[in-house]
């Protein structure tokens, strides 16, 4: 009987070992380079945890098999469900490490991802300068609440609400739930004595993009035939189509100088995105990651304050410097 005990107990470890063996090279090459939360346990803990888990699962399956009289009709359902669960446990390491794509989760259920992101990463009422009292807060929210926009509409203005800045510009690694692009711009034209042209645009990220809208509507109004210097402060880097449009515009207009400061890199691990970013650089675009000082600049110059309230100073969020360094390293690797 001991042979059955050992067999059932060891069985889960076979698939676990094969999963590790097939993907062992991906751990130092990819997984170890991922940015993880501070509370993420050491990699040395995973073999211990999975050994305990698989041993418990295997021995439990032996007890079920033994108590139900072996492979009887009564054991088919519980052991069948156990086998399905075991197969899924074995399948996830090759799938996860083989795909190497952290953006797959939002594609499965974007609604759930957005709700979780809003709950976990959106600033609290206190951080937004809003009262914690529900009744008092409701009255205040009415002042800043804007009407629902039709899908894919481009919104323009001089200053964006603080709550949008704190959520959309936050330089987190996982940007789930942030399905818009916010673009703040400053345009200076050589030879013009008037103040620089400035403002912001936002979009619904699935269709008309803020970068395209700027090139189509804002830039023609600000250009006057002379040398034009444009600086963007964008919540995330351009997608492939926007990057190609930017590169084409710079190649056609030699008098245009464009600097793009981005809070996050959009899908930076995709080869076509990396190629598009390099194409922008080759066309003359200066692409930079926003430093904490750049976020403060946007806060002071592009974020609206409540009427009658004192001007609030910029409060950096946790890990803002660490996240900046993380994205700066990624961008350097891409553009090298």
Residues involved in catalysis: 211
Query: Which run of H or of E encompasses 212?
Result: helix 210-213
Would you list the DSSP string of 139-169?
A: HHHHHH--PPPPTT--EEES-B-HHHHHHHS
Cα separation, 155 vs 210, whole angstroms: 9
* CA of residue 27 relative to chain centroid, distance: 22
Query: Which run of H or of E encompasses 187?
Result: strand 182-189
Burial class (CB in 10 A: 0-12, 13-18, 19+), 225: exposed
Query: Which run of H or of E encompasses 231?
Result: strand 228-236
Local structure of residue 236 (DSSP, 8 states): E
Cα separation, 243 vs 335, whole angstroms: 14
Query: CB neighbours (10 Å) of residue 81?
Result: 10
Q: Which has the closest alpha carbon to 302: 179, 201, 153, 223?
A: 201
Q: Which has the closest alpha carbon to 266: 257, 276, 255, 279?
A: 276
């Amino acid at each position: 009987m001991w042979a059955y005990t050992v067999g059932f107990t060891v069985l889960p470890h076979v698939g676990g070992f094969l999963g590790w063996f097939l993907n062992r090279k991906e751990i130092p090459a990819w997984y170890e380079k991922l940015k993880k939360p501070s509370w993420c346990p050491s990699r040395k803990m995973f073999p211990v945890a999975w050994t305990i888990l698989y041993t418990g699962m295997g021995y439990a399956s032996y007890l079920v098999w033994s108590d139900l009289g072996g492979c009887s009709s009564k054991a088919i359902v519980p052991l069948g469900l156990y086998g399905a669960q075991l197969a899924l446990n074995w399948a996830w390491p090759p799938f996860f490490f083989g795909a190497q794509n952290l953006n797959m989760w939002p594609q499965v259920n974007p609604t759930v991802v957005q709700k979780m992101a809003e709950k976990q990463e959106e600033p609290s009422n206190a951080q937004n300068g809003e009262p914690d009292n529900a009744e008092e807060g409701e009255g205040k929210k009415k002042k800043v609440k804007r009407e629902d926009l039709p899908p894919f509409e481009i919104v323009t203005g001089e200053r964006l609400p603080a709550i949008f800045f704190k959520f959309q510009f936050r330089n987190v690694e996982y940007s789930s739930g942030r399905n818009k692009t916010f673009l703040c711009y400053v345009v200076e034209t050589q030879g013009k004595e008037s103040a620089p042209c400035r403002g912001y645009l936002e979009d619904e990220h699935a269709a008309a993009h803020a970068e395209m809208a700027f090139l189509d509507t804002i830039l023609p109004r600000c250009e006057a035939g002379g040398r034009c210097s444009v600086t963007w402060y964008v919540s995330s880097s351009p997608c492939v189509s926007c990057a190609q449009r930017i590169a084409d515009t710079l190649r056609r207009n030699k008098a245009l100088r464009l600097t793009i400061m981005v809070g996050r890199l959009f899908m930076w691990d995709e080869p076509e995105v990396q190629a598009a970013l390099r194409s922008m650089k080759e066309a003359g675009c200066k692409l930079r990651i926003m430093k904490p000082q750049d976020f403060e600049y946007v806060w002071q110059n592009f974020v609206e304050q409540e009427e009658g309230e004192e001007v609030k100073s910029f409060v950096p969020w946790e890990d803002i410097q660490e996240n900046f360094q993380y994205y700066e390293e990624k961008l350097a690797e891409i553009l090298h």
